Structure 1
Amino acid sequence: MQLKKVDKRVYRSRLNVVIVACVGCLAILSLSISQVLIQIFPSGEGTHFHWNLLGVVVAAGILGLTLMRLKTHSLMVEVAYVWDLKQALNLIYRKNRKLLLAAKQGNKEAMLALQFSYEGSRQLWTLDDNTITMDSLNQAQLQLDEWVELYGVQLDITQYQSEILKKF
């Protein structure tokens, strides 16, 4: 995955549309499905919890499949990019301890993964207005910069590939 420039205003407006649409569709679908199930399989007890639960589960499945199919739509480009970025950062985060140890010992690929993580996190946190933790990110970046200088490494995040993480 490569980092791309994203217009924050466009991303936020499209994300809000996706969220509202998902909430509305989930509510309408789950209620509709559970009502149909209750009509088909009535219960004399008066409780229909299992049908309501099944309606929510089926609606969530339908919504998930629909989002996967719409992911490539032109109006979903920014939202899909951020979803993919979050997944890529999560993969790096799972290996963070090993990456830090390897980077401290001069491993260029570990440093590259960390640099991608830091720049991706900075972009993500700016898009989501989550600047509270930016200080800790800046501290981690300073540490990485020290290792880069110490070992004389050149980092180009356009060279980052997620396959690097399999080594750690």
Structure 2
Amino acid sequence: MKLIEIDKTRYRKHFNRVLIGCALSLAICSLLLSRLLITLFPDPSGSHFHWNAIGVLVSAALVGFLLNKNRHHPYLTEVYYVWLLKQSLNKITRKMRKLEAAAKQGNADAILALHYSYSGSRLLWKLDDNTIIMDELAVKEAELSNLAEQHNVILNVNDYNEQLLKQF
């Protein structure tokens, strides 16, 4: 997955609207479905927990289905890209210990994966205004840059491919 620059204001506006829309849809649909099920199948004991739970589950599945169906809509471009980027970075994070050990040994693929992880994290943190640990990230990037120079590895985030992680 290639790293691309995203318009932060557009992303935040679209993300917030999608999030609020999902929350409202889930709440309204859950209430309507639960009420419909309770009306159609009343329980003499007065406990309607199972109908409420079914209403919530069906509503969540419906919202998830609609999001999945419309994920390529132009309005969701940035939101979907960030979601995919987070998934990609999570795959690297799960193998971080092995990658860091291999990078110290001079493994070019590990160094490249770490470089991609740091660059992607910087992009995400800027989008989310998470600047608290940017200094820590800069230190890690400097260490990685020194390591890459020491092992004659050229750092280019566009060279990263998820297939590199299979060896770790």
TM score, norm. by length of structure 2 = 0.97
Look up the equivalent residue of 1:59 and give its one-letter code.
S
SS in 2 for 1:3: coil
> 1:95 and 2:101 equivalent?
no
Q: SS of the residue aligned with 2:42? A: coil
Partner of 1:131: 131
Structure 2, unpaired ranges of 5+: none
CA distance in 2 between partners of 1:145 and 1:14 (Å): 35
1:65 aligns to what?
65
Question: What is residue 162 of structure 1 aligned with on the other side?
Answer: 162
Alpha-carbon distance, 1:152 to partner: 1.2
Aligned equivalent of 1:120:
120
How far apart are the structure 1 equivalents of 2:142 and 2:47? 59
Q: Does 1:53 align with 2:53?
A: yes
2:12 matched to which residue of 1? 12
Q: Give ranges in structure 1 of 5+ residues lacking alignment.
A: none
Report the Cα distance in structure 2 between the residues aligned to 1:130 and 1:47, rounded to whole angstroms: 45
Is it true that 1:32 corresponds to 2:32 in the alignment? Answer: yes
Give per-residue Cα distances to partners, 1:6-35, cap 9 Å, x unaligned.
Answer: 000000000011011101100111111111
Q: Distance in 2 between matches of 1:96 and 1:107?
A: 13
Amino acid at match of 2:28: I
Matches of 1:136 and 1:56, distance apart in 2:
41
* Aligned-CA RMSD value: 0.8
Q: What TM-score comes out, normalization by structure 1 length? A: 0.97
In 2, the alpha carbon distance for the partners of 1:27 and 1:156 equals 45
Structure 1 residue 156 displacement after superposition: 1.4
Which AA in structure 2 matches 1:140?
A: K
Q: Match for residue 81 of structure 1? A: 81
Q: Distance in 2 between matches of 1:90 and 1:55?
A: 31
1:44 CA displacement: 1.1
| TM superposition shift of 1:89 | 0.5
CA distance in 1, matches of 2:6, 2:36: 43
Fraction of identical pairs, as percent: 49
Deviates more, 1:140-149 or 1:66-75: 140-149
In 1, the alpha carbon distance for the partners of 2:142 and 2:46 equals 63
Runs of 4+ more than 4 Å apart = none
Count how many residue pairs are aligned between Structure 1 and Structure 2.
168
How many Å apart are 1:79 and its aligned residue?
0.5
Deviation at 1:92, TM superposition (A): 0.4
Report the secondary structure of 1:4's partner residue: coil
